[in-house]
Amino acid sequence: MAVASTSLASQMSGPHFSGLRKSISKLDNTSVSFSTSQAFFHNVDAHLRLSSAGKGCRSVVTMAGSGKFFVGGNWKCNGTKDSISKLVSDLNSAQLESDVDVVVAPPFLYIDQVKNSLTDRIEVSAQNCWTGKGGAFTGEIRAHYYAMIRYKLSSLLHAVGFTDFVTVTDGIRLLSKNLLAQTDSSVEQVKDLGCKWVILGHSERRHIIGENDEFIGKKAAYALSQGVGVIACIGELLQEREAGKTFDVCFQQLKAFAGSWDNVVVAYEPVWAIGTGKVATPEQAQEVHVAVRDWLTKNVSAEVASKTRIIYGGSVNGSNSSDLAKKEDIDGFLVGGASLKGPEFATIVNSVTSKKVAA
């Protein structure tokens, strides 16, 4: 992110800033002096959005893209009714910056609970969907429930005298894995619950469940055709980064989302940083984000490259979000574990202020 100078005179000669959006128009070459301060500040006011809420004025730096800052919380398969009620309560009472799109993705079982109790300020996303209409595909179910099924089935087999528990356990584990691979929800169900977004291509779906680019692409195409926005996840494994294949991997994954880009947010999540506590440096993230935007420019259009939000995910928390947000091509975050803590998630949302400097 190119930081706006604290010198108002120097701002006059550069691109103007409107909120967090970059404009291609230029300011007039107006001569500025203290004797013409009234005209000067009139010109500044016309081209800068200045905020004053008891904190002094802040000028806004430009984002490389023209989209609004976006922060998503992926709750994955975490939570109970009680813990989610507490989390929703914390989010409802949080003070969030207005110039940020905020989305949370609860486990499918709790989407209805969240949708009915969460403030309208925050939108709701599904974590997955199916490739077409209907079918026997519901939402992600925690491994806890499969463990319960395994226990009850093993107990039942023991009661009827079946004692080959090694075979039984292996069989039930395989059955559980197959069930997990199929527990998708239809886009129609997602929409019926009021979700406006769905997360697709997450590394846990790619590398644990085995979803490939073609399958992910089918899901994305159908979701978009039904008016549901897609948070499109891409990212490389550690060995791919070490082999210098980061860009190749990300570009190949991007191809799966080819089609309509009007309602797509790209989430770059290096797999080696997800849930590991190892976060990409701001410079590493920025490098990939620049490359992704350049790919969109060359393979789709400059307009799409500008409009598409490219957000970062991978061990984002309240401590590192501010430094990451300062980078020009980081348009927001997809947050995992830290999104389960209301106050910390609010801090990450409000890291948008890192793109603003004191005037």
Looking at the fold, whether 80 and 226 belong to one and the same domain comes out as yes
Please give the span between the terminal C-alpha atoms of the chain, in angstroms, as a whole number: 17
Looking at the fold, whether 151 and 197 belong to one and the same domain comes out as no
Q: Are strands 356-358 and 58-60 parallel, antiparallel or unpaired?
A: antiparallel
What does the pLDDT read at residue 304?
A: 96
Q: From first to last of its 359 residues, what are the pLDDT tens digits of the chain?
A: 333 333 333 333 333 322 333 333 333 343 334 334 344 333 433 333 333 333 333 444 557 767 899 999 999 999 999 999 999 999 999 999 999 999 999 999 999 999 999 999 999 999 999 888 876 555 433 433 444 444 445 555 555 565 554 455 454 444 444 444 444 678 998 999 999 999 999 999 999 999 999 999 999 999 999 999 999 999 999 999 999 999 999 999 999 998 889 899 999 999 999 888 888 999 999 999 999 999 999 999 999 999 999 999 999 999 999 999 999 999 999 999 999 999 999 999 999 999 875 33
CA distances from 348 to 53, 87, 191, 305, 333 (A): 20, 15, 27, 24, 8
Looking at the fold, whether 233 and 107 belong to one and the same domain comes out as yes
Looking at the fold, whether 174 and 191 belong to one and the same domain comes out as no
In degrees rounded to 5, what are phi and psi of residue 322? -65, -45
Residue 207 annotated in active site: no
Question: Which distant-in-sequence residues (6+ apart) come within 8 Å of 264 by Cβ?
Answer: 220, 224, 229, 230, 232, 257, 308
Looking at the fold, whether 163 and 311 belong to one and the same domain comes out as no
249 lies in some domain = yes
What does the pLDDT read at residue 199?
A: 97
Residue of 269, 289, 328, 344 marked active site: 269
Give the predicted TM-score (pTM) of the model: 0.72
Alpha-carbon distance of 188 to 71, in angstroms, equals 24
35 lies in some domain = no
Which 3 state secondary structure label does DSSP give 16?
A: strand
Looking at the fold, whether 297 and 346 belong to one and the same domain comes out as yes
Q: Are 337 and 275 in contact (CB under 8 A)?
A: yes
What is the span of the domain harbouring residue 95?
69-137+184-358
201 lies in some domain = yes
Q: Are 235 and 314 in contact (CB under 8 A)?
A: yes
Structure token digits, residue 83: 């813990």
Looking at the fold, whether 103 and 237 belong to one and the same domain comes out as yes
Q: Are 99 and 128 in contact (CB under 8 A)?
A: no
Q: Are strands 264-268 and 229-234 parallel, antiparallel or unpaired?
A: parallel
Alpha-carbon distance of 333 to 314, in angstroms, equals 9
Residue 202 annotated in active site: yes
What does the pLDDT read at residue 185?
A: 78
7 lies in some domain = no
Alpha-carbon distance of 187 to 204, in angstroms, equals 20
- For residue 245, count other CB atoms closer than 10 A to its CB: 14
Looking at the fold, whether 214 and 260 belong to one and the same domain comes out as yes
Structure token digits, residue 92: 């409802």
Q: Which of 195, 183, 227 is nearest to 112 (CA)?
A: 195
How many domains does the chain fold into? 2
Alpha-carbon distance of 293 to 134, in angstroms, equals 35
Alpha-carbon distance of 354 to 327, in angstroms, equals 9
Looking at the fold, whether 209 and 228 belong to one and the same domain comes out as yes
Alpha-carbon distance of 203 to 236, in angstroms, equals 9
192 lies in some domain = yes
What does the pLDDT read at residue 63?
A: 73
58 lies in some domain = no
246 lies in some domain = yes
Looking at the fold, whether 150 and 294 belong to one and the same domain comes out as no
Q: Are 62 and 327 in contact (CB under 8 A)?
A: no
331 lies in some domain = yes
Looking at the fold, whether 147 and 285 belong to one and the same domain comes out as no
What does the pLDDT read at residue 134?
A: 72
DSSP state of 52: -
Looking at the fold, whether 216 and 296 belong to one and the same domain comes out as yes
| Domain edge (last residue) among 179, 199, 229 | 179
- For residue 143, count other CB atoms closer than 10 A to its CB: 12
Residue of 123, 202, 240, 328 marked active site: 202
- For residue 325, count other CB atoms closer than 10 A to its CB: 25
